[in-house]
Amino acid sequence: MDAALLAWFRENRRDLPWRRTRDPYAILVSEVMLQQTQVERVLPRYLAWVDRWSTAEALAAAPLADVIRAWQGLGYNRRAVNLHRAAQSIAAEGWPDDLTQLPGVGRYTADAVAAFAFGQPVLPADTNVQRVQERTGHAFAPECGQALMDLGATVCLARVPRCAVCPLASRCPSRGRRYEPVRKQGRFEGSFRQRRARVLRAVAERPRLLGQLDCDAVDALASDGLVHVRGGLVSLPQER
């Protein structure tokens, strides 16, 4: 199956900017941005980010308030704080042997950076990779990582896989199956996530009086390191 997959990938691979580099910092940025965010939304934001902060050292030196502002619109803003902390750790101490020691870096992200930047023989298993492996029952080699991601994103879809155009279909025991919809995240409209986002957007414009804001959302943002509260005034971190 590996050979068939890689042959398909050579003809169908997505041209993504983070695939044109082996810079571990650039790849880390892409992987953090891609967590729970669609590729189409990430593309312009990634390019703007690495143009503004092209190295871990540059990001580490940036005020956290600027980093949070630059992240606006990507969602899950805690990722911006963790990425900034990771950059500070890298700038101070270099890249650790165990990448999960970096703030906000879990097993998948660590494996992705290890494989795509440092060339280590590991297979990063995101949702798409896991889906293809489970359906085929095949243990793919590490070099199949990006091919599996593209196959899962464009062919081996979650609900109705496109088996007719799949290079693995002839040997796949799940060929022709349809799947129940996965449990979706709750609606953003009217959610606490929306309340948090509204408060953070307001504070990113300028510091605000606590009494003018949703206090529960402020508390949640403060616990995530996204805002600072002092003397009844709510501001972004490092911004007084």
Please report which helix (H) or strand (E) contains residue 87, including its range.
Answer: helix 78-93
- The alpha carbon torsion through 112, 113, 114, 117 (nearest 10 deg) reads 120
The catalytic residue among 31, 93, 180, 239 is: 31
Token output for 84: 């900034």
Count of beta carbons in the 10 Å neighbourhood of residue 168: 22
**DSSP readout, 174-226?**
TTT---PPPPPPPPSTTSHHHHHHHHHHHHHHS-EEGGGS-HHHHHHHHHTTS
The whole-angstrom separation of Cα 230 and Cα 240 is 9
- Taking each continuous run of H as one helix and of E as one strand, the counts in the chain are 11, 3
Q: Any catalytic annotation for residue 31?
A: yes
Residue 228 β-bridge partners: 235
**Rounded distance between C-alpha atoms, residue 46 and residue 42, angstroms:** 6
* Residues listed for the chain: 240
> E strands, the chain, where?
208-209, 228-230, 233-235
Distance between CA 47 and CA 230 in Å, rounded?
35
Instruction: List residues with catalytic annotation.
Output: 31
